[in-house]
Structure 1
Amino acid sequence: MFKVACLRFGVLGPLTVVNRDGAPVALRGSRLPALLTELLFNANKAVSFGRLVEVLWGDEPPKSYVSNLHTYVSRLRERLDGVPIDLVAGGYRISLDTADLDLLVFRAETEAGRAAAAPTLAAAHFRRALDQWRGTDFAQPHLELEAVRLEAERIMVVEEWVDAELAAGRATAVIGELTTYVREYPLRERFAAQLMVALARAGRRAEALTVYHQTRTELIDQLGIEPGPLLRRIQSEVLAT
């Protein structure tokens, strides 16, 4: 669609801009990175003037904020030579090919994984989607809500990747990573259930039951609730093996 192979952008973690040789492109100050990240998180869509002004100046924009905004966009264009940042009705839009932005790659690979006919192919697409992430700290105050939403999106893809790996018969391949996620998200029952399944299929039945009891303890201590139907069903299946 767009011929922007000269630069590649990363927003799934700290903002990165690199040229075709892999050398970083520097953006001075705080406002140019803030402006760019807002445009990138909405790549190929218009971002309103009002939203961009809010990102740059919060609740106290200067009197000349309209001309100042145009100036910052002009400076950004100079730093990102060849990248289309177009004035559209009511705002600006940065136009990028999917391969030029990790967020677009993440979403394209996720969609491909969900559409895949075979679990091995689905797992490969989900893995490529997750490999786009370099961290979850976006270091931009205006991205706080976006960060929460994207983290939820990432965790859902992790769960889908695990399901695909389990369906492909690769239980042992996910145990290590799943164990980390269960420790990081002790109240997320689906992770615990997936780890129990993986351990049981690997012949580690006692460890699978330990995961159930540990998760149950966390749920009771922190939320005052018993495990839900999914976790109870997996426990029963493990006990029956």
Structure 2
Amino acid sequence: MDIDVLGTLAVRHHGASITPTAPKPRQVLALLALRAGQVVPAGVLTEELWGTRPPRSARATLQTYILQLRELIGVALEGGAADHTGQRRQAKDLLLTVPGGYLLKGGEGVSDVREFERLAGCGYRAMDAEDYPQAARLLREALELWTGPALADVHTGPHLQTEVKRLEESRLCALDQRVEADLRLGRHRELLAELTVLVNQYPTHESLCGQYMLALYRSGRRGEALAAYQRLRTTLVRTMGLEPSSALAKLQRSILMSGPDTLAAQPTRIASVAAVG
């Protein structure tokens, strides 16, 4: 079963879509797909769909949604091959009812989340080894798997919202390290347009701001680098009552006081105040 959630939801079995169009069955499938191979308690699915005050018919309605998903799986299975025993699998073999909940079998299919995590992990290891060309390539490949916000076309309740935030945080970490790798490779001018967008999208993200400041400085735009620091400081003080971190303040002082070559090898890893804006 192939599962895509890094953008719009798409779940396929043998190439045939099993993604429903109705909003609540899509929610159920999204949560089952994100936790493929794990039991999702019926209570978790109920809370995802209706919050803390489900209707009396919630359990029966949830069972109806599961049956609808099995019907879609059944249609996909009609064109599939028999298993190693010579028997055709049934929908209930892929979407199981287990004590306390339900389990979607992902099998050996492709998951864009698993592939993202694999590539990003390899990229982080390359960063630790100071292999910046390899790190930049791997992290870029990981980020290219994202076609939009996670589950962009799915209504999200409390559990899916948590999953979406987790995925977005993972994306930002990979993005931060990919920018870092590119800066280490001297690609500061190439990064300016992208970083201009990012610091506006995440106005309290200190690491991105520090990278933007460094890229501006290395491009001969010292005044704009200092202005970027002041914008971040103003935003942090106004919205959170916080001053920038000591690491970012040190970078600002270095830009203010240093000669043109002093920051050539300045590291830019700065802790984020708020990774998700």
Question: What is the TM-score with the length of structure 2 in the denominator?
Answer: 0.72
Q: Give the fraction of aligned pairs with identical amino acids, expressed as a percent.
A: 30
Change (3 A) 1:26 1:108: same
Match of 1:126 among 139, 143, 151: 139
Match of 1:219 among 205, 228, 236: 236
Match of 2:28 among 10, 29, 35: 35
C-alpha distance in structure 2 between counterparts of 1:217 and 1:106, whole Å: 35
Residue aligning to 2:120: 110
Cα pair 1:39 1:94 within 8 Å, conserved: no
Matches of residues 51-200 of structure 1 in structure 2 within 5 Å?
Answer: 51-56=44-49, 59-60=54-55, 62=57, 64=60, 68=64, 71-81=67-77, 84-88=94-98, 90=100, 91-97=102-108, 100-116=110-126, 117=129, 118-136=131-149, 137-142=152-157, 143-200=160-217
Change (3 A) 1:57 1:218: closer
Match of 1:232 among 242, 249, 258: 249
Deviation of residue 32 (structure 1)? Answer: 3.0
Cα pair 1:199 1:207 within 8 Å, conserved: yes
Matched, 1:15 2:9: yes
Deviation of residue 182 (structure 1)? Answer: 0.6
Q: Secondary structure at the match of 2:38?
A: coil
Change (3 A) 1:169 1:43: farther
Cα pair 1:32 1:76 within 8 Å, conserved: no
Greater displacement, 180-189 / 198-207: 198-207
Q: Secondary structure at the match of 1:177?
A: helix
Higher helix share: 1
Change (3 A) 1:110 1:97: farther
The amino acid that maps onto 2:117 is R
The amino acid that maps onto 2:55 is E
Q: Secondary structure at the match of 1:219?
A: helix
Superimposed CA distance per residue, residues 5-26 of structure 1 (whole angstroms, 9 cap, x where no aligned partner): xxx43212221346877x8666
Change (3 A) 1:164 1:88: farther
Superimposed CA distance per residue, residues 66-93 of structure 1 (whole angstroms, 9 cap, x where no aligned partner): 8546524422422543694345554313
The answer for unaligned runs of 5 or more in structure 2 is: 81-90, 260-277
Q: How many residues are paired up?
A: 233
Deviation of residue 192 (structure 1)? Answer: 0.8
The answer for unaligned runs of 5 or more in structure 1 is: none
Residue aligning to 2:86: none
The amino acid that maps onto 2:120 is T
Change (3 A) 1:109 1:88: farther
Deviation of residue 102 (structure 1)? Answer: 1.8
C-alpha distance in structure 2 between counterparts of 1:234 and 1:42, whole Å: 42
> Radius of gyration: which is bigger?
2
Deviation of residue 61 (structure 1)? Answer: 5.3
Deviation of residue 119 (structure 1)? Answer: 1.3
Deviation of residue 95 (structure 1)? Answer: 1.3
Change (3 A) 1:224 1:153: same
Greater displacement, 74-83 / 122-131: 74-83
Q: Which has the higher contact order (CA 8 A, sep 6+)?
A: 2
Deviation of residue 193 (structure 1)? Answer: 0.5
Deviation of residue 229 (structure 1)? Answer: 0.8
